[in-house]
Amino acid sequence: MNEAITKEDAPKASVSVFRKRLRKFRSLKRGYYSFIILVTAYILSFFLPLLMNNKALVVSYDGELYYPIATYYKGEFFGQFNDFSTNGRTETNYRLLKARFEAEDEGNWVFMPPLVPFGPSETPQVAKEKILIDAYKAGNFDVDSKDKKPEKSAEEIAKEEEKAYSGGDEDEDDGGFKYDPNKFKDDKDKNKSGDKKSGDDDEDDDGYKGDDEDDDDGYKDEDEDDEDDMGEDGEDDNYQYNPDTFDDQKEKALAKEKEEGKNKSDRDKLIAAAFPLPPSDVHPFGTDNTGRDLACRLAYGFNVSLTFALILLIVAYTIGITIGSVLGYYGGYVDLFGQRVIEIWQTVPFLYTVMILGAALQLNNDPSKPAYFQPSFILLISILASFSWMGMTYFVRGEFLREKSKDYVSAAISIGTKDHIIIFKHILPNSLTPVVTFAPFAIVGNISSLVALDYLGFGLPVPTPSWGELMKQALGDLKSWWLVSAPIAALFVTLLLVVFIGEAVREAFDPKVFSRLR
Amino acid sequence: MWSYFARRFLLAIPTLLFSTLIVFLVVQKAPGGPVEAAIMASQMGGGQGEAGGGAVDMANNGVSQASIDAIKKYYDLDKPIHVRFYRWGKKILRLDFGVSSNFGKPVWDMLKGRFKISISLGLLGFFLSYMICIPLGIFKAIKHNGYFDFGSSVLVFAGYSIPGWAFGMLALMYFASPDYGYEWFPLNGIQSSPDVFKELSTWGKLMDYAHHAILPVGAYMLGSFARLTILTKNSLMENLGQDYVRTAFAKGLPERRVIVVHAMRNSLIPLATGLGHIFSLVLAGSYLIESVFQIEGMGMLGFKAIINKDINIVMGILVISTALSLFGNIVQDVLYCIFDPRIRFK
């Protein structure tokens, strides 16, 4: 290797070539800092559930600490009954809980993930939440009372939620529940459907504009831009804390905001706008076309993309290196035959074949697993790897052809070392230069492939956060500039960092020394 | 040399045979084709389901054995796979790709029409990028480590870091979307609607095409921009360090002549050979770009065919791209011989 030996490269004690190259890499600032930034971001992205999530990290409730990030708590556990649909029988909405605790000021607190309080696959109903939060601020906690009408029968929820859930009672209990914080303690202990109160089902003709009566199981609903039935119990004036019905309360709040103007329009925007929502205080990057927080999707997508690219790199390179080294080491007919096979394999159109397989082998997501343990994730990597390992074989084969004529190989052969040990322990470490220098560019290719496949709809299955899927949404909605720009920008920045790294790695490991005459 | 190419062509035949076999197997064995779906739906009752298939309509169990056989016979599925491949291959050799199940037209006729659109875009992009990248690469090499080199490197890095089709989408938003940005270019298609297009003069037609083609061609160009520029630069840099350049300088030739006449000619060899892959390159990126710009080209046809499970079109496109890339390999070698007489193939 004709390393350009600079002053700092000329050490007193002998330093391995690899060390020298690392030192060179570190001296190339642009690539080195890109490397640090990218690695930091990637490591951080594994802690995304702690940074961007709809689950609180810590909840202090009645003097005890809970960790919802690790455990599932129903809304009723914390005394939260208005989650727009199930009367606290689904998971707690911690954003609302936090707002209520803050408004109540009773020493309870919620520590939400610091960056974004939304989950990657969550469709937050920000508009509805805002009404509730406003109500909390106005001191009206009844909106979160246990008295809400469950929108679904208990059986439905039981089916969806937990099998252990016994069918609840549909009977019309007293509508006259009083807001009593102490009672929640009991509820929390029971934490059962047993004492579920299903309130007045039939009185939901509250006049809030934008209200839609038949909004049903709102929470995971894709297309709910319709307002929910927050104030359903409006007509029943059994609330004790405020004599006003909630409807009146709401109208008052609305009127108040009308004066303030800005908030009102803000909220109206939230309510009226169909998704995707533009960037706002709530969603600094806006939302995608089903209302999921874009920043969150992008960040989780970063993790998925890079993980995908790295695993694919490892798999494809393992295949390519193994085959390339066998061809190069044995040569002769093995080489000839192998070359033919590779040529055949290479003439198969890569992208189109992968598209066909991707379309044919769509597997469903297994929601219990994280993105990269999904069967479809593994399948897609196998498909892509089986059609992209060929490139590396040429380089490794070439390196092996050169290395195997060297003395240390002859020495190893002469003392009877086994072939696989010569290949993998003796020659391979000396033939890794092309592997290392091409790896960053292969990552660029892998990320691009994943994004392209996701964009075409043949990639990872639907709920997986993915840049390509966002771009697919964006193409159908070109006026949503944030939806178009954000994934492309994320892709661009990531690839740029990788390219900078790749350039520096190439410079350090395989420097081109140009002697320019004149 | 000619015996080498004769052998190359002869070798290409088994290669084509095997790669079409792979293609054939992929399409036939991948679950979810229309026939497979129909047959599977009926077979589910018999407990013989070919696992892994896409959505199978369980309600459709009532397909009688007779109709399954009819379907199978119609699609030749009652024969073992090698017989099917043989029959299919015989048809392919006569350029009979069958009939599209969605459009009811012969696949070959459909492909011919679409091919023109894709190839015109692809060729434009290809030649324009050569016309930009080669001079740029040469300048970068001459001004190596100068301001121009660094400045254009930014472009090169940026160009490498954004896929052409993604850039096309961005351009579409800024320069074609009526809702956002400027409406300078049409939002989709490669020509105005047929009624309008018919009325135009030849010049008008040309301008109409150019107007539609600017953004997609730009996207095509971006795809190869970085690679070509760097390739040109590095190959020229390499040549500038060679002995014959030293000799030329020693003779007292002016620098301009040394670079343009001596070094550049040699440094363009690797680029010229890239021309061999022109046809397969044209197809490679078109799925994405044509889908972004809604151009009804070959890529779009192939994309939709996958979604609609139009197997004959899928197979046709696969065979054509396979043959083209194989052909491209040979052409590349021929070009090597033409442009670089030092290379002797044996």
Question: CA angle at residue A149 from A146 to A154, to 5 degrees?
Answer: 95
* Single residue among B100, B122, B137 that ends a domain in this structure: B100
DSSP per residue over B135-157, as a string?
A: HHHHHHHHTTTSHHHHHHHHHHH
Record: contact A500-B314, CB cut-off 8 A: no
> Residues B220-230: pLDDT tens digits?
888 888 888 98
Chain A interface test: which of B173, B259, B295 (most A C-beta within 10 Å):
B173
Chain A interface test: which of B28, B35, B253, B306 (most A C-beta within 10 Å):
B306
Both B130 and B176 in one domain: the answer is: yes
| Alpha carbon of residue B68 to chain centroid | 37
pLDDT of residue B49: 39
B39 contacts chain A (CB < 8 A): no
B166 contacts chain A (CB < 8 A): yes
Both B320 and B241 in one domain: the answer is: yes
The whole-number average pLDDT for the span B128-139 is 90
Q: Is the pLDDT of residue A133 over 70?
A: yes
Q: Using DSSP, state whether A271 is helix, strand or coil.
A: helix
Which position has the higher pLDDT, A368 or A3?
A368
Sorting pLDDT into bands at 50, 70 and 90, what band is A237? very low
Angle between helices A467-475 and B164-175 (to 10 degrees): 30
* Single residue among B78, B100, B122 that ends a domain in this structure: B100
Record: contact B291-A456, CB cut-off 8 A: yes
A470 contacts chain B (CB < 8 A): no
Both B122 and B80 in one domain: the answer is: no
Sorting pLDDT into bands at 50, 70 and 90, what band is A497? very high
Residue B87 belongs to a domain: yes
The enclosing H or E element of A20 equals helix A17-27
How far is the C-alpha of A286 from the C-alpha of B290, rounded, in Å? 28
Q: Is the pLDDT of residue A3 over 70?
A: no
Both B163 and B295 in one domain: the answer is: yes
Sole residue written with tokens 């105005």 = B192
Within 8 A of B240 by CB-CB distance, chain A residues are 514, 516-517
Both B206 and B279 in one domain: the answer is: yes
The whole-number average pLDDT for the span B282-291 is 77
For the record, the structure tokens of B21 come out as 């076999």
Record: contact B26-A495, CB cut-off 8 A: no
Record: contact B249-A345, CB cut-off 8 A: no
B252 contacts chain A (CB < 8 A): no
B2 contacts chain A (CB < 8 A): no
pLDDT of residue A118: 82
Residue B6 belongs to a domain: no
Most confident segment among A354-358, A414-418, B317-321: A414-418
The enclosing H or E element of A156 equals helix A154-160
List beta partners, residue A343. Answer: none
User: Phi and psi of A89, rounded to 5°?
Assistant: -100, -5
Sole residue written with tokens 């909390």 = A136
Residue B39 belongs to a domain: yes
Omega before residue A276 within 30° of 0, cis: yes
Please answer whether residues B313 and B301 qualify as being in contact, where contact means their C-beta atoms are separated by less than 8 angstroms. Answer: yes
Q: How many CB atoms lie within 10 A of CB B26?
A: 20
Q: Using DSSP, state whether B129 is helix, strand or coil.
A: helix
Which position has the higher pLDDT, B51 or A511?
A511
Both B305 and B321 in one domain: the answer is: yes
Both B47 and B147 in one domain: the answer is: no
Residue B220 belongs to a domain: yes
Both B193 and B75 in one domain: the answer is: no
Record: contact B161-A512, CB cut-off 8 A: no
Chain B interface test: which of A34, A337, A347 (most B C-beta within 10 Å):
A347
Most confident segment among A29-38, B281-290, B303-312, B324-333: A29-38
Please answer whether residues A492 and B157 qualify as being in contact, where contact means their C-beta atoms are separated by less than 8 angstroms. Answer: no
A479 contacts chain B (CB < 8 A): yes
Q: Count of A–B CB contacts within 8 Å?
A: 156
For the record, the structure tokens of B130 come out as 């050569």
pLDDT of residue A499: 92
Q: In B149-186, which positions are buried (b, 16+ CB within 10 angstroms) versus exposed (e)?
A: beebbeebbbbbbbbbbbbbbbbbbbbbbeeebeeebb
The residue range of the domain holding B257 is 107-339
Both B43 and B173 in one domain: the answer is: no
Residue B238 belongs to a domain: yes
Most confident segment among A55-69, B42-56, B179-193, B249-263: B249-263
Tell me the nearest-neighbour CA distance from A473 into chain B, angstroms.
12
Both B128 and B40 in one domain: the answer is: no
DSSP conformational letter for A60: E
Using CB atoms, pick whichever of A348, A452, A478 lies closest to residue B163: A452
Spatial CA neighbour of A371 closest among A454, A480, A441: A454
Integer angstrom CA distances of residue A346 from A59, B18, B36, B272: 56, 11, 28, 21
Range of weakest confidence among A235-244, A508-517, B6-15, B118-127: A235-244
Within 8 A of A467 by CB-CB distance, chain B residues are none
Record: contact A496-B234, CB cut-off 8 A: no
B306 contacts chain A (CB < 8 A): yes
pLDDT of residue A64: 82
Side by side, the strands of the sheet bearing A58-61 are A64-66, A58-61, A109-111
pLDDT of residue A230: 39
Sorting pLDDT into bands at 50, 70 and 90, what band is A38? very high
% of chain A with per-residue pLDDT over 90: 19
> Residues A247-303: pLDDT tens digits?
555 555 555 555 554 454 555 555 445 667 777 777 777 777 777 888 888 999 999
Please answer whether residues A275 and A287 qualify as being in contact, where contact means their C-beta atoms are separated by less than 8 angstroms. Answer: yes
Q: What is the mean pLDDT of chain B?
A: 79
Residue B18 belongs to a domain: no
pLDDT of residue B68: 67
Q: What is the mean pLDDT of chain A?
A: 73
Range of weakest confidence among A153-157, A168-172, A303-307, B339-343: A168-172
What pTM, to 2 d.p., does this model score? 0.78
Using CB atoms, pick whichever of A340, A479, A498 lies closest to residue B180: A479
pLDDT of residue B282: 65
Record: contact A347-B158, CB cut-off 8 A: no
CATH number of the domain to which B292 belongs: 1.10.3720.10
For the record, the structure tokens of A484 come out as 């178009």
Within 8 A of A516 by CB-CB distance, chain B residues are 144, 237, 240-241
Alpha helices in chain B (DSSP H): 2-29, 34-46, 65-74, 81-93, 107-142, 147-161, 164-175, 194-199, 202-240, 243-250, 255-257, 264-267, 269-274, 278-284, 286-293, 298-308, 311-339
Please answer whether residues A236 and A175 qualify as being in contact, where contact means their C-beta atoms are separated by less than 8 angstroms. Answer: yes
Q: Is the pLDDT of residue A23 over 70?
A: yes
Specify burial of residue B210 (Cβ count, 10 A radius: 0-12, 13-18, 19+). Answer: exposed
Using CB atoms, pick whichever of B22, B245, B318 lies closest to residue A352: B318
A451 contacts chain B (CB < 8 A): yes
Please answer whether residues B10 and A339 qualify as being in contact, where contact means their C-beta atoms are separated by less than 8 angstroms. Answer: no
Using CB atoms, pick whichever of B172, B234, B240 lies closest to residue A478: B172
pLDDT of residue A179: 41
For the record, the structure tokens of B107 come out as 């696949």
* Single residue among B100, B124, B153 that ends a domain in this structure: B100
Record: contact B22-A496, CB cut-off 8 A: no
Record: contact A361-B52, CB cut-off 8 A: yes
A94 contacts chain B (CB < 8 A): no
Both B68 and B163 in one domain: the answer is: no
pLDDT of residue A516: 65
User: For chain B, what is the domain count?
Assistant: 2
Q: Is the pLDDT of residue A41 over 90?
A: yes
Residue B112 belongs to a domain: yes
A residues 336-395 lying closer than 8 A (beta carbon) to B: 340, 343-349, 351-353, 355-357, 359-362
Integer angstrom CA distances of residue A221 from A218, A226, B276: 5, 11, 52
Tell me the nearest-neighbour CA distance from A472 into chain B, angstroms.
9
Give the chain B residue nearest A484 (alpha carbons): B170
pLDDT of residue A87: 67
Record: contact A517-B241, CB cut-off 8 A: yes
The enclosing H or E element of B253 equals none
Q: Using DSSP, state whether A110 is helix, strand or coil.
A: strand
Both B257 and B158 in one domain: the answer is: yes
Give the chain B residue nearest A449 (alpha carbons): B163
pLDDT of residue B28: 77
Residue B185 belongs to a domain: yes
A491 contacts chain B (CB < 8 A): yes
Q: Is the pLDDT of residue A174 over 80?
A: no
For the record, the structure tokens of A136 come out as 């909390």
The alpha carbons of chain A give a radius of gyration, in whole angstroms, of 30
Range of weakest confidence among A163-177, A419-433, B85-99, B262-276: A163-177
